[in-house]
Amino acid sequence: MLDGVERLVDLVGVRRSGSTDAADVDVVEAVRSGDAGWLAAIDGHFAATARDGRTVRLARTLGFPLRYFVAKMYHGPILIAADRMDRIFDWCQEQRIGWQFDPAYTRMVPAHYLVAIDQVGCPDPAPRYQRFFTPSIATSSADIEEAGARYIEATYAALKKWLEAVPHGEPIAVAFSGGVDSTSIVLLARHALAALGRHPDTVRAFTLDVGGGADAVQARDAMSDLGLEHTWEPVTASPADIDLERAISVIEDYHPLEVECAATALCLLEGIRARDGSLTYLLDGDGGDENLKSYPLEDSDLTLSSVLRNPLLYQEGWGVDAIKHSLTYSGGLSRGYVRTYAPAAAYGFNAFSPYTVRSVIGAALSIPFAQVLGGRQERLSTLKQDVVRAGVKAVTGIDMPVHPKRRFQDGVVGAPRARVSKAWCRSVFTAQWEQRLRKATDILEPRRSGNEVPAVTS
């Protein structure tokens, strides 16, 4: 193996959002040197890669997916990093090494970890993980009013910081269902804009309506109750516009709930883009359910006990050293955030949810859930609305309307429908990649061997 050659190809570069207390070069240097303490000290979202000799390091938060693939070239292993599998594959194709690629060989950096990989040859060493987010658990009061104020104050601070970077006068879209999270985002964004000396009506709420879905009615009622109907825009579509196969291709995943959510998000964003080709900034409430554990446990193999014993389960999935952890996809919202990131990127939006920022997650995790729930699983269905409503009242003075909880993909369609199966999603994903991978053997130029040394020109 040759020394002194590049062993890292970063196809996306450093990315940051909602953070004004660090420069790109500082983030990259902290990742290069493995300074987890420095990464822990900055808030907002980031993703970055860097090389230190033969060691490549990568780190990310929830807001930015980051994948990598280790290929073999004449000088030894080379790591390619990007936000998407297909971006990595396309680069390998350009280098005539697409035959080495398989989507299952890619790895997603788990959120909140600094990952180090030594590029020393075959067999490739296992990555080393160092956590840089270690929030305190159950350290605050069980009083709902206090918990709500603390949680929403952190949310407001994170949102305001992101809004400060939005150019003055730029319109801001909110993916709006009229549920607890999206309604709180509209109210907090308007409050923050007013505090920044900007017009609150810059915020526009968009709701997808497919055949008279419940979300459209709920969203209209919520905006009417708040006196904000003039800032609400329903986006109508037909059931045929919900394209699950396209969603699988866009998010490069086959988890049914993520696929369904992404399909409806793509439909909504296509409608927004058709109305306003220049709109760039997009807010949503993704992460609110995960923070306050607002999921029906009957939909999964989880128990209340397992949720309480694993505080970051919904954000990160099972730990990196656990048998259920997936190297290819990570877990929890660490995996699932592609449902927001990828559709937004596909339509050119700069998307952000303050509920995914570490300071906000930390504020949620400080709630003593075991004490608040008292062993009552049914309390999970109402806890989030109580906490968020109390917090919004404390921060903005507004009594926020609360509507029944439902998943985004369930509320946009008028008629009940059957759930898509994981087996079907995975078969579509596999077929899509089989078609792409055939290109690796069909290219006109011969494939490049990992031992091929480039010709030296005089």
Phi, psi at 6, each rounded to 5°? -70, 135
Is residue 319 scored above 90 in pLDDT? Answer: no
- Count: domains in the chain: 2
Residue 17's beta-bridge partner residues?
45
In a domain, 3, yes or no: no
pLDDT digits (tens, 9 = 90+) for 161-179: 999 999 999 999 999 999 9
Domain identity same for 179 and 257: yes
pLDDT at position 8 is 94
Q: Are residues 61 and 156 in the same domain?
A: no
Domain of residue 187 covers 144-423
The answer to whether position 73 is within a domain reads yes
Specify the pLDDT at position 369.
Answer: 95
- One domain, residues 116 and 265: no
What pLDDT sits at residue 457? Answer: 42
Q: Are 177 and 167 in contact (CB under 8 A)?
A: no
| Boundary (domain end) residue, out of 106, 133, 160 | 133
Residues 49 and 94 in one domain: yes
- Are 188 and 215 in a shared domain? yes
Cα(first)–Cα(last) distance of the chain, in Å?
23
d(CA 353, CA 286): 6
Is 435 contained in some domain?
no
Residue-level pLDDT at 2: 45
Pair (290, 183) in one structural domain: yes
Q: Average pLDDT of the chain? A: 91
Q: pLDDT band for position 413 (50/70/90)?
A: low
Q: Are residues 123 and 154 in the same domain?
A: no
Q: What's residue 321's pLDDT?
A: 85
Judged on CB neighbours under 10 Å (0-12, 13-18, 19+), 86 is middle
162 and 119 in a single domain? The answer is no
pLDDT tens digits for 11-62?
999 999 987 678 999 999 999 999 999 999 999 999 999 999 999 999 999 9
Q: How confident is the model at residue 231 (pLDDT cuts 50, 70, 90)?
A: very high
Write the pLDDT tens digit of every residue in 76-127: 899 999 999 999 999 999 999 999 999 999 999 999 999 999 988 878 889 9
Q: Is residue 213, in this structure, part of any structural domain at all?
A: yes
- Do the domain assignments include residue 115? yes
Task: Express each pLDDT in 341-374 by its tens digit.
Answer: 999 999 999 999 999 999 999 999 999 999 999 9
pLDDT, position 186 = 98
Instruction: Check residue 231 and report its DSSP letter.
Output: G
Q: Is residue 457 part of a domain?
A: no
Same domain, 205 and 257: yes
Contact by Cβ (8 Å): 83, 433: no
154-163, pLDDT tens digit by residue? 999 999 999 9
Cα 99 from Cα 441, distance rounded (Å) = 7
Tokens of 268: 């909504």
Q: Residue 245 is part of a domain; what is its CATH number?
A: 3.40.50.620
Q: What percent of the chain has pLDDT over 90?
A: 78
Half-sphere exposure of 114 (CA within 13 A, CB side): 24
Residues 380-394 have pLDDT tens digits of 889 999 999 999 999
| pLDDT at residue 404 in the model | 74
Residue 35: count other Cβ atoms within 10 Å of its Cβ.
17
CATH code, domain carrying 47: 3.60.20.10
* CA 245 – CA 433 distance, rounded (Å): 12
Report pLDDT for 4: 46
Q: What is the DSSP string of 142-204?
A: --HHHHHHHHHHHHHHHHHHHHHTSPTT--EEEE--SSHHHHHHHHHHHHHHHHTTS-GGGEE
Cα separation, 292 vs 298, in Å, equals 17
How far is 259 from 416, CA to CA, in rounded Å?
17
Q: Per-residue pLDDT for 416 more than 60?
A: no
* Residues 242 and 286 reside in one and the same domain: yes
Residue pLDDT, tens place only, 236-274 = 999 999 999 999 999 999 999 999 999 999 999 999 999
Q: pLDDT category, 1, cuts 50, 70, 90?
A: very low
Which residues lie below 8 Å from residue 273, measured CB to CB, with a gap of 6+? 279, 347, 348
- Dihedrals φ, ψ of 367, to 5°? -70, 130
Domain match, 228 and 326 both: yes
Asked whether residue 139 is domain-assigned, the answer is no
Same domain? For 52 and 128 the reply is yes
pLDDT tier at 450, thresholds 50, 70, 90: low
Domain stops at, among 133, 159, 178: 133
**Residue for token pair 């369904």:** 260
In a domain, 380, yes or no: yes
